[in-house]
Amino acid sequence: MVREHATADRYGELVTSQAYRRARVAKAEVIWHLCGDRLLRAKRPADLGAGTGIMRAVLEDKMGKPLYGFEIDISFVEEPKHMVGADVERLPLADGALDFVIMNHLYEHVSHPDVLFREAFRVLAPGGGAYVTAGSRLAVIEPHYRLPFLSWLPRPVASAYLRLSGRGDSYEGIRFLTYRPLTDLMRKAGFVVHDITERAIDELLDRTRGRSWTAAWAAAGSLGDDTRAGLLRLASPQWFFMLEKPLTRTSDATGSGDD
């Protein structure tokens, strides 16, 4: 079940702010850059855990066709067109009903991420795909409450840290994973996993973070491809993936070397 977002803490204030709306529009541009071609080709696309619907609405305008969003907390929705109230762990869809889905920073907000990925696999037709943006438990600054090392801590300690900071009462609804457990869940659901994090950084870092970060990333290229990829798995605050549902189901889908 997706956590209710509109809470009376710092995170709740964030997601109802104008800064958040601007950030969602910017995020939609990132998604469009990385998988706009897939969205244009898709006949039955959807945004799972669509949140406010802001990002979904921007992408729908670019596509020129409906992009349905599924969100459990309808009170949180600001752009209601083509939004459906539904739990992403139990989607009201037939097997194979969709051919492309977006899961943008969703897995950490559900009770059972393994169920989320199995459900996404179920509703995708063979040959369908999914775009996933995923945060890391090892991110130095936790993205929802902007506190150092918050997601590193055991849950009771993290909740106490939140209360001491004055930014919230409980850290029970957010469940980040590290790289290997996360990608293992995707594969066990049946997906072929392609890590496109390096591509995203190569193509978007200058636009999203500025030239100083781009220069630092270029310098990291001297470490070699394998070393740089390993550092990203360990130290990147977020990762980008494209998932594929094979045309025929295997017992445990494996990657193609991209991850």
Domain ranges of the chain: 10-139+176-243
- Long-range contacts formed by 135-141: CB under 8 A, 24+ apart: 135/105, 135/108, 135/176, 135/237, 135/238, 136/176, 136/177, 136/178, 136/179, 136/236, 136/237, 136/238, 136/239, 137/176, 137/177, 137/178, 138/178, 138/234, 138/235, 139/176, 139/237, 139/238, 140/237, 141/237
Which DSSP symbol is given to 252?
Answer: S
Residue 218 has pLDDT above 90, yes or no: no
- The whole-number pLDDT of residue 193 equals 98
Residue 42 has pLDDT above 70, yes or no: yes
Residue 92 has pLDDT above 60, yes or no: yes
**Percent of the chain whose pLDDT exceeds 70:** 82
Per-residue pLDDT band at 19 (split at 50, 70, 90): confident
Which DSSP symbol is given to 247?
Answer: S
pTM of the model: 0.86
Task: Decide if domain 10-139+176-243 falls under CATH 3.40.50.150.
Answer: yes
Closest CA to 241 of 175, 173, 187: 187
Q: Which two tokens stand for residue 104?
A: 């943008």
- The whole-number pLDDT of residue 15 equals 65
Which DSSP symbol is given to 99?
Answer: E
Which parts of 124-210 fold into alpha helices (H)?
155-165, 179-189, 197-209
What's the whole-number average pLDDT of the chain?
87
Provide the residue count of the chain: 259
Q: Which of 8-12, 37-41, 119-123, 250-254 has the lowest mean pLDDT?
A: 250-254
- The whole-number pLDDT of residue 204 equals 82
Residue 201 has pLDDT above 90, yes or no: no
Residue 245 has pLDDT above 50, yes or no: yes
Residue 205 has pLDDT above 90, yes or no: no
- The whole-number pLDDT of residue 121 equals 98
Terminal Cα-to-Cα distance of the chain (whole angstroms): 28
Q: Average pLDDT in the 163-175 region? A: 91
**Which residues is 99 bridged to in the sheet?**
none
Q: Which of 56-60, 112-116, 197-201 has the lowest mean pLDDT?
A: 197-201
